[in-house]
Homo-oligomer: A and B are copies of this chain.
């Protein structure tokens, strides 16, 4: 019963590593070395791996991955709604899903989702621990028991907010937005109430033992992530990051796989620094960021404000991007929000992969551009990231297989004119 990390360290190339290598056009040995060094994780709970999971790698050497958050809240949603959201996310090409449910029958909903989820599946176990009761009542036993249960259910990665220490809380006093991470604000409240250290920090070795058992990957939560531009890269954020760096080491010593979570809201010019400092402090452990949003002023469009930041983040150091939907700050996402969030993040991840020269990434761009230049509408629309939406927009204007672009009409079509010009030049050359 060893983890991907432990096996990689011992020189064993697992089936999961081989599969990831194939998906990424890489030699399995490269994947093994990256896993052994902690720079690449394959979140694959043994239970899920024995069932529906097709493993996914997350790391800087390979293509950038994206996650979609779904989950019921006490206000709304049902098992069926969450399954529908999962399926929308999968349809549009998400690489992992987190169930952040805080309402309904969370066990039933989770088991139902895992059974239908071919991609890595993550949770924030804290949420289940405090459903229908105040955070102040949380005990050490609750933490252990819930993590054990969810690990046994097949969850592939846990967000564990162990880095937010008691002494970090005062550092947030001068912030504009305070503590915007849900886990962070809950744990800070618990610590203030009990006058004690973060229980996830205190129990960290026990959690490592539980997570190692089924190879649940750590996603070390950033409870102090900035919730607005003004709070970005502040003392509180960096202090917690240093603790996350220590915890990364400790989890590695236990043989556990680790990712580290990051912001949030960050001005565009601070993104590169944020990525570099995480890579340094956490010694190359994959960075899993939420956006970041590059402005606070556009609620309703935060899939866009954050896809801008996510692209820059992935170029400069992040390996894993958590989507943000147009409903961010305003409401729980519905199915259409999930589509919009997933597509915006696939754009961000792919644009970064092209910029980074990830193997084969740009082939897709070149192929669709050739179809576009050839006025081959069928192929052009087929190759589109979201063919259905592109086709609907196109067909609303004109039928496919026309010999010009639908923006300007035949006479004004630069693609048609350019194509004709090139054909003439070729003929003239002969």
Contact = CB atoms under 8 A, between A and B. Distances in A.
Contacts of A25: none
Contact of A421 (B192, B326, B383): B192
Max chain B Cβ within 10 angstroms of own Cβ: one of A182, A185, A192, A295: A295
Chain A's interface: helix, strand, loop or mixed, by majority? helix
Interface in A335-391: 343-344, 346-348, 350-352, 354-356, 362, 364-366, 368-370, 372-373, 380-381, 383-386, 389-390
A408 interface: yes
A326 B176 contact: no
A182 B414 contact: yes
Nearest to A380: B299
26 contacts: A73-B409, A169-B421, A176-B369, A178-B415, A188-B418, A188-B421, A229-B362, A268-B315, A295-B347, A296-B365, A296-B368, A297-B364, A297-B385, A298-B346, A298-B384, A298-B386, A299-B380, A299-B393, A303-B304, A308-B308, A308-B348, A326-B393, A329-B407, A330-B397, A331-B406, A332-B397
B73 A177 contact: no
A269 interface: yes
Nearest to A328: B407
A356 B268 CA distance: 9
Task: Report, nearest first, the 9 A-B pairs whose CB atoms are least far apart.
Answer: A228-B369, A331-B397, A178-B418, A269-B355, A268-B355, A294-B351, A185-B417, A300-B390, A296-B365
A344 B229 contact: no
A179 interface: yes
B294 A354 contact: yes
Interface residues of A, number: 104
Contacts of A343: 298, 301, 304
A297 B350 contact: yes
B364 A421 contact: no
Contact of A407 (B312, B315, B331, B373): B331
A386 B301 contact: yes
Interface in A296-327: 296-301, 303-305, 307-308, 311-312, 315, 326-327
A281 interface: no
B179 A347 contact: no
A153 interface: no
A366 B176 contact: yes
Nearest to A305: B347
Contacts of A394: 299, 330-331
A64 B179 CA distance: 32
Nearest to A419: B178
Given A268-B315, A370-B176, A412 B102 contact: yes
Contacts of A381: 299
Interface in A174-205: 176-182, 184-186, 188-189, 192
Contacts of A347: 294-295, 298, 301, 304-305, 308
Contacts of A393: 299-300, 326-327, 330-331
A185 B383 CA distance: 25
Contact of A268 (B296, B351, B369, B414): B351
B305 A230 contact: no
A228 B332 CA distance: 37
A385 B304 CA distance: 13
Interface string A276-290: 000000000000000
